[in-house]
Amino acid sequence: MPENFKAGFVNIFGAPNAGKSTLLNLLLGERLVITSPKVQTTRHRILGILTEPGCQVVFSDTPGIIEPKYKLHQKMMMQVKSALEDADVAILMHDITQPIDEFEKISNSLKLKVPVILLLNKTDMVKDKSTIEAEVNKYKEHYPGWQVLAISAQKKVNTDKIMPLILKALPLGFAFYPDDSISDRSERFFVSEMIREQIFALYDEEIPYHTAVLIQAFEEKTTLDVIKADIIVSRETQKMILLGKGGSMIKQLGINSRKVIEEFLQKKVHLELFVKVRPKWRDNDNYLREYGYN
């Protein structure tokens, strides 16, 4: 064991929309994972690796914890389970404006045996400072032994107090990854996620939940990358909505997606999107595997 180097898995759990992915990006200091105002944005466990003098923190973003309604949900909850198994430290996130009962259901189901840091997020939504204090005290009483911190991940309030808490709880150990690694996921994966993020932003109601994105081709040329992606939906009617009148919506999706992908790759991109209907893909093991939900 090294005497002066700490390393470990710090895995982030909580209800959908609590702000887990926003937090990971904040702690990493860059936009790695996608976020949206809608619930159930994250579908995978995604590592975000932070290496600094004296420590390596391997964060995991995870899908929001829900009662599974179809196989895709089950796969998402398997991702949560895998993160529960190897956590050295658990960060639990809860929207401070939501009732403690909601949080309790989730936290009880996790049966955590590792140090816990509870972040009560979205304090910017609470007008009164004393209300925040009262909430923090309530959770501290309820969960003695846990570190409890009220923060706003979005407005960066109190967030400088998170890393010191993590470092205190992190075990001594050798680095798990080379010090220039940032994630376990490929460029291809992040590109598909970025298209999914734009779908969450552009389309309403059930569309994002019936959608998967599959990168079919990723050709790196000298001046630009050529990327071809399939957008999978469950029904013909959803395909019509995705395309929009005269293809106007898919065109907009292409423009929005290309912009963020070019920023990410730091390169010009030629992006082609194809919409495909795969009935009931969310309940089909073969499709789920093909789309990366293992």
Ligand X SMILES: Nc1nc2c(ncn2[C@@H]2O[C@H](COP(=O)(O)OP(=O)(O)OP(=O)(O)O)[C@@H](O)[C@H]2O)c(=O)[nH]1
**Residues in contact with ligand X by the rule CB under 6 A:** 14, 16-22, 35-37, 39-42, 63-64, 121-122, 124-125, 152-155
Q: Does 79 bind Mg ion (CB under 5 A)?
A: no
CB of 132: closest distance to ligand X in angstroms?
Answer: 12
Phi–psi pair at 127, nearest 5 degrees: -70, -45
Which among Mg ion, ligand X, none contacts residue 37 (Cβ within 5 to 8 A by kind)? ligand X
Taking CB positions, which residue lies at the least distance from ligand X? 64
Is 62 a binding residue for Mg ion by CB under 5 A? The answer is no
> Hey, what are 144's tokens?
């003695």
Give yes or no for residue 21 binding Mg ion (CB under 5 A): yes
Could you say which of Mg ion, ligand X, none residue 121 binds, taking C-beta under 5 to 8 angstroms by partner kind? ligand X
Long-range contacts, stretch 106-115, CB < 8 angstroms, 24+ apart: 106/13, 106/14, 106/15, 106/65, 107/143, 109/65, 110/13, 110/65, 110/84, 112/84, 112/87, 114/87, 114/88, 114/89, 114/90, 115/88, 115/89, 115/90, 115/147, 115/169
Which of these segments, 35-43, 79-87, 150-158, 254-262, binds Mg ion (CB under 5 A)? 35-43
Contact status, residue 243 vs residue 275, Cβ threshold 8 Å? yes
The smaller minimum CB distance to ligand X, of residues 6 and 63, is found at: 63
| Shortest Å, Cβ 194 to ligand X | 14
| CB nearer ligand X, residue 159 or residue 238 | 159
Residue 43 beta carbon to Mg ion: minimum distance, rounded to whole angstroms: 9
Smallest distance, Å, CB 16 to Mg ion? 8
Residues sharing a CB contact under 8 Å with residue 40, sequence separation 6 or more, in sequence order: 16, 63, 64, 66, 76, 209
